Structure 1
């Protein structure tokens, strides 16, 4: 493992995306891995980022990496 680990329990994969919740807007925002770990966000591996779902009534906003 060269990078930061996935935040999911028992997952040993490297993180590729960062998840942040915006509670006031009932929104989960998933984007490219942040430059550094933040205390109120979650780093996810590709598998967990792809499978991400939000509670009913919430929306998921996915920001793709610009190439």
Structure 2
């Protein structure tokens, strides 16, 4: 348990993923939950990251964490 809730309003789901926007490059970076909550990032639960879609013309970069 991370004790961090999803950033979506009125969602109390456990955050599993961190999403960050780079407005200058029209880029969205999606990766594993960051170790520390960042003020310019969004922590999302599994339900909301599955429903996530990028604005038209934006690129999405997904980082996948693989445990050895």
TM over 0.5: yes
Structure holding more strand per residue = 2
- Please report the RMSD computed on the Cα atoms of aligned residues, expressed in angstroms: 1.3
Q: Unaligned stretches of 5+ in structure 1?
A: none
Report the TM-score when normalising by structure 2.
0.90
Distance 2:62 2:50 in 1: 10
Q: Unaligned stretches of 5+ in structure 2?
A: none
Correspondence 1:28 to 2:28: yes
Shift of 1:41: 0.3
Distance 1:2 1:40 in 2: 18
1:1-67 correspondence runs (5 A): 3-67=3-67
Distance 1:9 1:45 in 2: 12
Aligned pair in 2 of structure 1 residues 36, 58: CA closer, same or farther (>3 Å)?
A: same
Report the TM-score when normalising by structure 1.
0.91
Moved over 4 A (4+): none
Aligned length: 67
For residue 16 of structure 1, give the secondary structure of its aligned residue in structure 2.
strand
